[in-house]
Structure 1
Amino acid sequence: MPLAAASTASAATKLDNPYTGAKVYVNPDWSAKAAAEPGGSAVSNQPTFVWLDRIAAISGSSAARGLKAHLDAAVAQGANLVQLVIYDLPGRDCAALASNGELGATEIDKYKTQYIDPIAAILADPAYANLRIVNVIEPDSLPNLVTNAGGTAGSTDACATMKANGNYEAGVGYALHTLGALSNVYNYIDAAHHGWLGWDSNMTPAAQEFKKAATTGGATVNDVTGFIVNTANYSALTEPNFKVTDSVNGTTVRQSKWVDWNQYVDELSYAQALRTNLIGQGFNSNIGMLIDTSRNGWGGTARPTAAGPLTSVDDYVNGGRIDRRIHAGNWCNQSGAGLGERPTAAPATGIDAYVWAKPPGESDGASQAIANDQGKGFDRMCDPTYTGNGRNGNNLTGALANSPLAGDWFSAQFQQLLANAYPPVNGGGGTTDTTAPTAPTGLASSAKTATSVSLSWTASTDNVGVTGYDIYRGTTLVGSSTTASFTDTGLTASTAYSYTVKAKDAAGNVSAASAALSVTTSAGGTTDTTAPTAPTGLASSAKTATSVSLSWTASTDNVGVTGYDIYRGTTLAGSSTTTSFTDTGLTASTAYSYTVKAKDAAGNVSAASAALSVTTSASSGGTGAGCTATYTVSSDWGAGFNANVTVTNTGTTAISGWKVTWTFGGSQQITNLWNGTLAQSGQSVTVTNAGYNGAVAAGGNTSFGFGASNSGANAVPTLTCTAS
């Protein structure tokens, strides 16, 4: 449900989820800045957090209202929930500089008496007893103790000091205990993001560190309502085009450079797994998670719509990931980012809300040194020319240029976030769309087993386009789908379940629920052993010098076919949920033998299809001294498109660099390019290798990709490849 939904519920009784039925305070100061931007009025009514990032912020000034003034404004709005960020620990932000605070490493007493105590005194005023107060407790502090306080690549002397003197833990414990003593206060501890703590070596130590801080200085786990992830960060809520369990030619997605052996590729899966771990460490079983979605939408024309090519696991991940950062360790004013999911209560299992903790348009830090009296330093991670450090793989930062101090208004960033919002803002129009999609109809069970139910329904319609569906088992959200089908798993045999489905549109509106469908799972005790029929009619629908496109007739099965595995000889080349597949990264004028096997919902695998022999075409595409380049459009939506270019070393020795040039046939303009260095002048394009992919072995290949706006004819251009 939208967070702005009205409610008359009192905050006097502690709620399991404070966001349920809440009308959340809209900060008038942020709202006015957002509304003053072109198109900003479309989102200026969204609730954002108020950051209490120094002692002076409590009382306020002529330039910014203080805490009491915000609470008074909330009461005047008729709101019953206010969101605050508690952010002034001694030695704050020890692993960075942009948000260094005013208190020195040893000033814990000042933190308690001049910062936390005055906040608690204001919140305890009976005038605010009916306000639910949600606090995010000290972003980055405890995660820094886990990874940056000694013995790791990200260690700093400042973080080591805070680990040694215990003031991070003491301060967090004091804030939890003092603020949590108020019956209308809900504390959420900051828990970083999947690209920080998602590895096995980090997650459990982090959960243990959180437990230690939450039981320090009189605090108990009862002072903790939950945790928040992705605060002021850019990690994608979900990655729709690949899963951490996927593999390409025997190499798992976890081994890709982007994922780097992480167990998670997005924030939703990380938050839900972390919640389970935290409960295992002794936190209450009803804790909830918040996810900051203020800047992780990654929409716009550069947003991929499908997985990348199967030429390598890096191509597969980089071509399909919606998080377009250069490296997951980049965090400052990221280029290409967009507004994410609008603030929403109870959007998924274990998630109390999606929130906008970082107000969109407020800078992460300055791109160059700026004198100030707030203790905020110049962090090179905010400098777009900086070539990085160990925490971002020694890559460019991807930061926007000309950014102001952390927390100051950054108009250019806000405009980018608005343009790249996903779901899109206004449905692409000039006024806010409030028309919800039609409710899904025809909900039916297309297949079921003892432990799963497969559902299908008739697609909904909407004036700005349906972007997906949420599927509910009873009142619990069990998953989402971008198509009109879904399989719910992990069920109990011979049990009745009730399902409904809601549609979502591109402007963030949600339909009414479909008519409920009751489905009883099959009896347990027997296992389906009937394999699908073998695929037939395997044929080559298209081929080039480096790829073969295959198609076949669908198989049938008693519990339903779930997909197909495609083999090149005896090697698994890939999988498909449809009756077609394109195998890429092949060699010109070479014969390949293909077979296909079908899989069913019970896990049975069919016999192989009859083998098909296909010989790739003679070398095509641009040629040069020792390399060829092949250009493939992976998606085209009219106003823009994504393309991939494979560079193959055709010589007999390794090359150390390459350059690909072409001339567009229309007025296409590349807006985002990865795995290469771009130079475009008018229709002429030159792409040279990045520092890490210039070396290509004889017969080997690499690739780069890009997103572009589209104007005029979009025919595949003639490419020229030059090796060095």
Structure 2
Amino acid sequence: MAAGTVAVAAGSASGAAAPACTVDYRIQNQWNGGFGANVTVTNNGSPVTAWTLEWVYAGDQKITQGWNATVSQTGKAVTAQNVSYNGNLGTGGSASFGFNASNSGENAVPAAFKLNGVTCNGGTDPGPGPTDPPGKRVDNPYAGAKTYVNPEWSAKAAAEPGGAAVANQPTAVWLDRIAAVKGSATTMGLRAHLDEALKQKGTGELTVQLVVYNLPGRDCSALASNGELGPTEIGRYKSEYIDPLAAILADPKYAGLRIVTMVEIDSLPNLVTNTTPRPTVTPACDVMKANGNYQKGVGYALNKLGDVPNVYNYVDAGHHGWLGWDDNFTASAEMFKEAATSEGATLADVHGFIVNTANFSALKEDHFAIGDSVNGTSVRQSKWVDWNRYTDELSYAQAMRAKAVTLGFDPNIGMLIDTSRNGWGGTARPAGPGPKTSVDTYVDGGRYDRRIHLGNWCNQSGAGLGERPTTAPAAGIDAYVWAKPPGESDGGSKEIPNDEGKGFDRMCDPTYTGNPRNGHSMSGSLPNAPLAGKWFSAQFQELLKNAHPAL
């Protein structure tokens, strides 16, 4: 069991009747005067269309905030009721919710729980419970589970001054070329990571995060992250990359792991925003739109990986500063559906979507909202927002989830938000709204995201670590994750010869004066950056310094 985690395990003694309901109550983190917890309730009885979970605290715990449930408290008694989208619990069905609470003394696990008046499992903490049966997917793969800590990244983080504070955080493993699946004498391959994950798992649940990232003609609009496969090499993508990857994940040895795949970052949105007839056409993206290999590749990956019972596919859905405009939003959601129904894939192969991967968009802007106006001028007309429908990643993620459901995706899909580099703390973090001299001074003075322009994406100066990985933090959100391992470069500040197909993108050059995509602004990137994916100590130190919440 991870440090700071308390669980009430599901299950019953051998030969005894299963309880009518089981509860997994886990303290995710603790701080002086408070804690955050995640609760997963499973209905083992007849289906219900609404639920109420009750428990009584022994100490002075007081609920201060809840999500994915309506949580209230009278004295020591707590009641959590479903919200509109998670009331249906079939036999074996589960729902997860979270909350923050204050406390100053003992923080014991509640002695008993009741679901709709029926007593669930209770008692003292027996340690991690039995693992879920292989082949049975849960609603949220992060609920009630630890998450894999990549020892290669952890060692690099721990070696940095101050890095020990975050070296135990879970980060995703990037499989960004064919050789990464097998590994080498100096780097861990997929099997090595999964074997290490089994060790970290112990007798509880553990989630492993993998970034599947090697499409033909990859990242057609960003040279720094181009890949090894040419635009027409869809056959190699299938036979040399996805097939071996899927075969390893399907090994029964790994059936007890929950494997989250983050599928093909920054691919499908390019077909919407950077192709003819858009004003920011990139010829390489027109090529990929014409040959259809992005859709085919994503569909093939979803189909093959979705056949593995313990794999959870999350498709990349860009970020609000890319797809938040009216003419991008719906077209992108429709593109996701097209890819998810290609090459034998179905919408059921998609467990959810991930946003803000390897990007810097603020999680939530508190000092201005999309409905605000200054002297009669809408915030949408400010230079920063520029008619976008969203001001931050949380509102965008929740809206994209709702849109996907209207297009036929499962109503229970969840979203992931990459918070690895969007904290924007430090001395530059505004404490309140900007002056209402104009809509621009109001927005610019109050925004947490301190980039020069919303379109800047490479090794951004002033960025900080964001929210630590957290399960079920808000409605419709399965987890905040660190998909982009902090300290790994987005691209070189100058051209660097390599055998990985990665080019030189001027957006990674701090002297670059910009292009139409970033309003001809300076790039805002850090100097002396190495090749994409390589360790960048200066960036890691910047992220530590500007972390929010602070370390």
Q: Normalising by structure 2, what TM-score? A: 0.76
Cα distance in 1 between the residues matched to 2:186 and 2:435: 52
Corresponding residue number in structure 1 for 2:389: 263
Q: What do the CA deviations read for 1:670-718 (whole angstroms, capped 9, x no partner)? A: xxxxxxxxxxxxxxxxxxxxxxxxxxxxxxxxxxxxxxxxxxxxxxxxx
1:206 corresponds to which of 332, 354, 362:
332
1:366 corresponds to which of 461, 486, 492:
492
The residue correspondences of 1:467-546 to structure 2 (distance < 5 A) are none
Preserved CA contact (<8 Å) 1:16 1:286? yes
Corresponding residue number in structure 2 for 1:92: 218
Cα distance in 2 between the residues matched to 1:99 and 1:140: 10
SS in 2 for 1:74: helix
Preserved CA contact (<8 Å) 1:345 1:353? yes
| 1:217 Cα deviation from its structure 2 partner | 0.7
Corresponding residue number in structure 2 for 1:9: 131
Cα distance in 1 between the residues matched to 2:415 and 2:350: 11
Corresponding residue number in structure 1 for 2:182: 59
Preserved CA contact (<8 Å) 1:174 1:217? yes
Give the letter for the 1:262 counterpart.
N
Give the letter for the 1:67 counterpart.
L
Preserved CA contact (<8 Å) 1:153 1:391? no
| 1:185 Cα deviation from its structure 2 partner | 0.2
SS in 2 for 1:2: strand
Corresponding residue number in structure 1 for 2:412: 286
Q: What do the CA deviations read for 1:624-657 (whole angstroms, capped 9, x no partner)? A: xxxxxxxxxxxxxxxxxxxxxxxxxxxxxxxxxx
Corresponding residue number in structure 1 for 2:288: 162
1:117 corresponds to which of 238, 243, 251:
243
Corresponding residue number in structure 2 for 1:133: 259
Cα distance in 2 between the residues matched to 1:208 and 1:34: 39
Query: Which ranges in structure 1 are unaligned for 5 or more consecutive residues?
Result: 426-724
1:403 corresponds to which of 524, 529, 541:
529
Cα distance in 1 between the residues matched to 2:419 and 2:183: 27
Cα distance in 2 between the residues matched to 1:93 and 1:314: 32
State yes or no: 1:314 paired with 2:440: yes
Corresponding residue number in structure 1 for 2:543: 417
Cα distance in 2 between the residues matched to 1:8 and 1:101: 41
| 1:12 Cα deviation from its structure 2 partner | 3.0
Cα distance in 1 between the residues matched to 2:348 and 2:200: 30
How many residue pairs get aligned? The number is 425
Higher relative contact order (CA 8 A, sep 6+): 2
| 1:200 Cα deviation from its structure 2 partner | 1.1
2:519 corresponds to which of 385, 393, 415:
393
Cα distance in 1 between the residues matched to 2:247 and 2:334: 31
Cα distance in 1 between the residues matched to 2:460 and 2:407: 34
2:271 corresponds to which of 142, 145, 167:
145
Corresponding residue number in structure 1 for 2:299: 173
Instruction: Point out the structure with the larger strand share.
Output: 1
Cα distance in 2 between the residues matched to 1:373 and 1:383: 21
Corresponding residue number in structure 2 for 1:380: 506
Corresponding residue number in structure 2 for 1:344: 470
Cα distance in 1 between the residues matched to 2:396 and 2:206: 30
| 1:154 Cα deviation from its structure 2 partner | 2.2
Give the letter for the 2:287 counterpart.
T
Cα distance in 2 between the residues matched to 1:121 and 1:210: 25
Query: Which ranges in structure 2 are unaligned for 5 or more consecutive residues?
Result: 1-26, 30-36, 39-127
Corresponding residue number in structure 2 for 1:356: 482
Q: What do the CA deviations read for 1:283-333 (whole angstroms, capped 9, x no partner)? A: 110000000000000000110010100110000000000000000000000
1:230 corresponds to which of 356, 370, 375:
356
Corresponding residue number in structure 2 for 1:332: 458
| 1:411 Cα deviation from its structure 2 partner | 0.3
Cα distance in 2 between the residues matched to 1:62 and 1:357: 25
Corresponding residue number in structure 2 for 1:528: none
Give the letter for the 2:180 counterpart.
A
Give the letter for the 1:36 counterpart.
A
| 1:8 Cα deviation from its structure 2 partner | 4.2
SS in 2 for 1:337: coil
SS in 1 for 2:286: helix
Q: What do the CA deviations read for 1:584-638 (whole angstroms, capped 9, x no partner)? A: xxxxxxxxxxxxxxxxxxxxxxxxxxxxxxxxxxxxxxxxxxxxxxxxxxxxxxx
RMSD (Å) for aligned C-alpha atoms: 1.2
Give the letter for the 1:107 counterpart.
E
Give the letter for the 1:65 counterpart.
M
Cα distance in 2 between the residues matched to 1:146 and 1:291: 21
| 1:18 Cα deviation from its structure 2 partner | 0.6
Seq. identity, %: 70
The residue correspondences of 1:21-100 to structure 2 (distance < 5 A) are 21-78=144-201, 80-100=206-226
| 1:9 Cα deviation from its structure 2 partner | 3.1
Preserved CA contact (<8 Å) 1:153 1:390? no
Give the letter for the 1:190 counterpart.
D
